[in-house]
Amino acid sequence: MSRSIGLSEFEARLQEAGIALGDDRRIASVRTRSIAASDWGPAAAVAMTFGCRWAGMWAEADHAHMRLYCVLDYAGDPLLLSAEAPLAAPEFTSQTPHFPAADRMERHARDLFGVIFVDHPDPRRWTRHCAWPEHWHPLHPAQAGDPPTPGRTPADVDYPFAAVHGNGVFEIPVGPVHAGIIEPGHFRFHAAGEPVLKLEERLGYVHTGIERLAVGRDPAGLARLAARVSGDSAVAHAWAACQAMERAAGIEAPPRALALRGLLAERERVANHLGDIGAICNDVGFAFAHVQTARLRERWQRRNRECFGHRLLMDTLVPGGVARDLPADAAEILRADHAALRREVEPLFDIIDDHPPLDDRLVGTGVLSQDNARALGCTGYLGKASGCGFDLRRDAPYAPYDALEVPLVTDGEGDTAARVRVRMAEVRASLDLMDQLLDATPSGETIAPLPVPPPDAAGLGRVEGWRGETLAWVRFDDEGRIARYFPRDPSWFYWPALERLILGEIVPDFPVCNKSVNGSYSGVDL
Amino acid sequence: MLRILTQVLRTGIVTEPPPATDDAALEALGLELRRAIDARFGRSLALRHVDAGSCNGCELEIHALANPYYDLERFGVGFVASPRHADALLVTGPVSRHMETALRRTWRAMPSPKFVIAAGQCACDGGEFGVSYASCGAVENVLPVDVKIPGCPPAPDELIRGLLAALRVPA
């Protein structure tokens, strides 16, 4: 069954279920259907039965309407569903009962826009802590000013965590400030003895108001902001945002720019995987691997600065292309680097893959079943380690990947060891991809001017970041400035997965499980 | 075990100044840092890091300080898990309003004398995020800051320089 037939059949199912489909003509480059606000939940029920992957949702408002969008993916083909309600009564049926991953994104939209989700199972706030009152919504068009009560923000002490009762059950509160150099978040464990009975995450501590900061920016300013949604995914988010803007404006970056973007994205993937592999080993006391991979990562980052101007590749992508061309001799240097890294990782990965003390701690630890990974819509290394091999570069290829052979990387075990193996396989695969990109880099321009997009133009960007499928939604206003930006980091699906895979594990194994998942805090707190 | 030893021997010691920066400069910097720490805190400087709203870019570079190229610990600078053990608070990010109280409490838990070091552009002046309904902006809007290390993010050698500057500040 070809893909578009798949989506057509899905639309037929929606209609059989009594859901009327309209065309939303304002959105170029992605198949869009509008439905009634009351059908928002029922459509999700059909999508779940049909086997769609739920890939994210966000709200958007103008002076009269509240609109919701959600992305449903079928075999790599995206369908954008939209629904509209009057701003005065923004009521939609909830999709959370059908797709558990929708829970936090719906609560995020509720906190920031004041969207009302009828029959949402969880009435608690999510992104909102105590910095603004319950009935003030930072992205609601009628509330553009500052919240009524500025001044010192108290700690969010009375968030109603779910309770677990029973003999010998105790709570362990952890965070927001952790005992290491990591991002802040709160974890509430319920344990009986050592095994974890329940883990509840409380995030939102690094909410910096990115969605509101984006409003009114010019395209270059948005690309700069996108690179800072999650510092480890500077290329992924900047690429998704640039792609969204370019699609809205009806252009494509020149082929040479796209090849360089591919190169940058693979460099980001390799750097992060090297860091993660070492950090996972370090969390179970295998410092040797940590030191070795940190060494390789440092050399890689120095080359980033030399050839691309930034150690973390921030601001290397700009709307319409890339910020600068590859220096004259860089291709040769990079090729030699790839060969050297390939040589270096072989003995190292060989040890990590087969070292009994390491196996003792990683094999069978923190298993995410394929059912859970699928139900939550996990992509990237987390999904791949649990048998969900989806990869946009392979399953819905965009330039430059449409001309490359991206290997299928999957593992069925779903444990921490599998997440390490997938990362190692992806490092190897990226090295091959980067060589192919260098061999076939087209000549020509590295940037095309971004025309002022038509008023109200919108675009959806979709790229495979190092953590997985990364989306960006951009709408322009009448003057070519940003009216709406929503970056959907893959971590929205990683965090709920962590809550599931930790169940039954012992509390001391939480750090390594968390590291092996490595969700971004800033990427979801926004 | 043999494979590990082989790999260790093959790798050798890579701890050295970065090729991009001047050899003698980093060495001198490290020694100066060493001397300053000796004078101010006895033999070591204990840092407590708090991410108050960062994008995680600064954290990646702070992590890099521990890699064998910089090996920050050889200069007597280490990271501690509790603010009660810390001489200085290293803060990254703009201070999100949701982290404001946690940051103040961390600082209050530290014994005196104590420093606050704002690391990264956001911590120095609010950076890309500034002051908003969600962000208090620069760290100095919340805590007294002794030293600022700009950069988005600051590279590891810039962080080392900034730490040195921290020790020059009169208590």
Residues of B in contact with A232 (CB under 8 A): 56-57, 60
3-state helix, strand, coil in chain B (%, to 5): 45, 15, 40
Do residue A312 and residue B57 have CB atoms under 8 angstroms apart?
Answer: yes
Do residue A206 and residue B51 have CB atoms under 8 angstroms apart?
Answer: yes
**What residue type is assigned to position A24 of the chain?**
D
Residue of A147, A204, A213 lying closest to B98 (CB–CB)? A204
* CA-closest candidate to residue B160, choices B13, B50, B40, B61: B61
Domain membership of residue A435 (yes or no) is: yes
User: Which H or E element spans position A83?
Assistant: strand A77-86
**What residue type is assigned to position A371 of the chain?**
D
Q: Which residue, among A125, A136, A137, A181, would best test binding to B if mutated, counting the most B CBs under 10 Å from its CB? A: A181
Q: How many CB pairs under 8 A join A and B?
A: 168
Q: What is the mean pLDDT of each run of 10 residues along chain A (526 residues)?
A: 75 92 79 94 95 96 94 93 95 96 96 95 94 91 74 90 91 91 95 94 96 96 97 97 96 96 97 97 94 96 95 97 92 96 95 93 95 95 96 94 93 95 97 95 93 92 97 95 97 97 94 96 96
Domain membership of residue A210 (yes or no) is: no
Domain membership of residue A227 (yes or no) is: no
Taking the CA of residue A183 and the nearest CA in chain B, the distance in Å comes to 6
- Residue B165 buriedness (CB in 10 A; 0-12 / 13-18 / 19+): middle
Q: Which residue, among A113, A206, A281, A297, would best test binding to B if mutated, counting the most B CBs under 10 Å from its CB? A: A206
Q: Which residues, other chains included, contact A377 with Cβ-Cβ below 8 Å and sequence gap of 6+?
A: A53, A54, A55, A99, A101, A493
pLDDT, position A148: 67
Closest chain B residue by Cα to residue A518: B56
Domain that holds residue A104: 3-118
Greatest alpha-carbon span in chain B: 57
Closest chain B residue by Cα to residue A348: B7
pLDDT, position B10: 85
Do residue A522 and residue B96 have CB atoms under 8 angstroms apart?
Answer: no
pLDDT, position B19: 39
Distance, CA of A358 to CA of A498 (rounded, Å)? 21
Domain membership of residue A66 (yes or no) is: yes
Do residue B102 and residue A183 have CB atoms under 8 angstroms apart?
Answer: no
DSSP string, A88-126: TS-EEE-STTT-TTHHHHHHHHHHHH--EEET-S--S-S
DSSP for residue A322: E
Torsion angles phi and psi, residue A6, rounded to 5:
-55, -50
**What residue type is assigned to position A443 of the chain?**
S
* Same domain, residue pair A106 and A246: no
* Same domain, residue pair A236 and A114: no
Taking the CA of residue B147 and the nearest CA in chain A, the distance in Å comes to 19
Do residue A181 and residue B59 have CB atoms under 8 angstroms apart?
Answer: yes
Strand pairing report for A458-465 and A317-318: unpaired
- Taking a C-beta distance cutoff of 8 angstroms, is the pair B7, A348 a contact? yes
Taking the CA of residue A342 and the nearest CA in chain B, the distance in Å comes to 15
- Give the residue carrying structure tokens 């290997």: A407
Taking the CA of residue B117 and the nearest CA in chain A, the distance in Å comes to 15
Residue of A130, A204, A209 lying closest to B133 (CB–CB)? A209
- Give the residue carrying structure tokens 């252009």: A251
Residues of B in contact with A225 (CB under 8 A): 128
Q: Which domains are present in chain B?
A: 2-168 (3.40.50.12280)
- Give the residue carrying structure tokens 């994205």: A265
A312: Cα separation from own chain's centroid: 18
ipTM above 0.90, yes or no: yes
Do residue A206 and residue B11 have CB atoms under 8 angstroms apart?
Answer: no
Domain membership of residue A128 (yes or no) is: no
pLDDT, position A316: 97
Closest chain B residue by Cα to residue A176: B102
Enumerate residues 348 to 377 of chain A having a beta carbon within 8 A of any beta carbon in chain B.
348, 350-351, 355
Q: Which residue, among B21, B58, B67, would best test binding to A if mutated, counting the most A CBs under 10 Å from its CB? A: B67
Closest chain B residue by Cα to residue A275: B60
A177 touches chain B (CB under 8 A): yes
Residue of B3, B57, B98 lying closest to A350 (CB–CB)? B3
**Where is the domain boundary, A423, A453, A483?**
A453
Taking the CA of residue B103 and the nearest CA in chain A, the distance in Å comes to 8
Torsion angles phi and psi, residue B88, rounded to 5:
-140, 150
Domain membership of residue A279 (yes or no) is: yes
pLDDT, position A1: 43
A260: domain CATH number is 1.10.645.10
Number of domains in chain A: 2
Report helix, strand or coil for A8: helix
Residues in chain A: 526
Q: How many CA atoms lie within 13 A of A146 on its CB side?
A: 11
* CA-closest candidate to residue A126, choices A146, A155, A97, A106: A106
A214 touches chain B (CB under 8 A): no
DSSP string, A145-191: S--S--SPPPP-TT--PPP--STTEEEEEE-SS-SSSS---EEEEEE
- Show the beta-strand stretches assigned E in B19-74: 45-51
A100: domain CATH number is 3.30.460.80
- Give the residue carrying structure tokens 């703009």: B94
Distance, CA of A289 to CA of A157 (rounded, Å)? 39
Domain membership of residue A469 (yes or no) is: no
Enumerate residues 129 to 158 of chain A having a beta carbon within 8 A of any beta carbon in chain B.
129-132, 138, 146-147, 152-156
Q: Which residue, among A208, A281, A349, would best test binding to B if mutated, counting the most B CBs under 10 Å from its CB? A: A208
Task: Please report, in tens digits, the pLDDT of each residue of chain B (171 residues total).
Answer: 888 888 888 888 887 554 344 556 666 777 777 777 777 666 678 999 999 999 999 999 999 999 999 988 887 889 999 999 999 999 999 999 999 999 999 999 999 888 899 999 999 999 999 999 999 999 999 999 988 999 999 999 999 888 877 776 655
Distance, CA of A45 to CA of A41 (rounded, Å)? 7
Report helix, strand or coil for A383: helix
**Where is the domain boundary, A92, A118, A144?**
A118
- Taking a C-beta distance cutoff of 8 angstroms, is the pair A437, A330 a contact? no
**Where is the domain boundary, A118, A141, A176?**
A118
User: Which H or E element spans position A464?
Assistant: strand A458-465
A386 touches chain B (CB under 8 A): no
Do residue B50 and residue A177 have CB atoms under 8 angstroms apart?
Answer: yes
Do residue B98 and residue A129 have CB atoms under 8 angstroms apart?
Answer: yes
Task: Write b or e for each residue in B118-136: b if 16 or more Cβ atoms lie within 10 A of its Cβ, otherwise e.
Answer: bbbbbbbbbbbbbbbbbbb
- Taking a C-beta distance cutoff of 8 angstroms, is the pair A47, A36 a contact? no
- Give the residue carrying structure tokens 């260790």: B8
The Cα-based distances of A229 to A237, A491, A518, A520, B68 in angstroms read 7, 12, 15, 9, 29
Q: Which residues, other chains included, contact A423 with Cβ-Cβ below 8 Å and sequence gap of 6+?
A: A273, A276, A277, A381
Closest chain A residue by Cα to residue B129: A208
Domain membership of residue A159 (yes or no) is: no
Residues of B in contact with A291 (CB under 8 A): 67-68
The Cα-based distances of B143 to A155, A419, B55, B95 in angstroms read 16, 40, 20, 10
Distance, CA of A320 to CA of A309 (rounded, Å)? 19
- Taking a C-beta distance cutoff of 8 angstroms, is the pair A362, A413 a contact? no
- Show the beta-strand stretches assigned E in B93-158: 115-119, 147-149
- Taking a C-beta distance cutoff of 8 angstroms, is the pair B160, B45 a contact? no
Do residue A131 and residue B14 have CB atoms under 8 angstroms apart?
Answer: no
**What residue type is assigned to position A21 of the chain?**
L
* Same domain, residue pair A435 and A306: yes
A302 touches chain B (CB under 8 A): yes
Enumerate residues 12 to 71 of chain A having a beta carbon within 8 A of any beta carbon in chain B.
none
Closest chain B residue by Cα to residue A286: B4
* Same domain, residue pair A101 and A241: no
Residue of A129, A147, A230 lying closest to B55 (CB–CB)? A230
Tokens of A308: 């691309």
Report helix, strand or coil for A423: helix
* Same domain, residue pair A308 and A438: yes
pLDDT, position A151: 81
Closest chain B residue by Cα to residue A131: B97
